[in-house]
Amino acid sequence: MQKVVRLALMSFALLWAFSCHTQQKPFVKKIDKATVQSEVIGKDVQLVDVRTPGEYKQGHIDDAVNFNVNDEGFVKQIETLDKTKPVYLYCKMGGRSNRAAELLKSKGFTQIFDYTGGYDDWSSKD
């Protein structure tokens, strides 16, 4: 009987340990220009420009989609993204993308990368 109980407890412990590893804790990570260049540009990623359509038309990073965080349809737009894959966000300088990142996190996205320098940093000559 003790063997059966011990085996059951070990099985439960293993099951619990593996179930904890499959659920990823949501995070928002601040990234810089070098990270965008190495991990985003030319890659098949979810890159979202959260600025206004006018700002987007004046220039944007790589093949970013434009979901204006100030638009009432923003939440509906982000629902078209895959919550299980990384999402990279940027705005003009970092304020709106930070707000968007927190919104994505609250909607169940787990891997959110916020380019804090934004388009101003991206388009600057350095």
Reading the block at residue 112, the tokens are 């959110």
Annotated active-site residue 20? The verdict is: no
Rounded Cα gap, residues 95 and 126, in angstroms: 22
Q: State which amino acid sits at residue 38.
A: S
Active-site residue, selected from the candidate residues 91, 101, 104, 112:
91
Judged on CB neighbours under 10 Å (0-12, 13-18, 19+), 67 is buried
Residues designated catalytic: 91
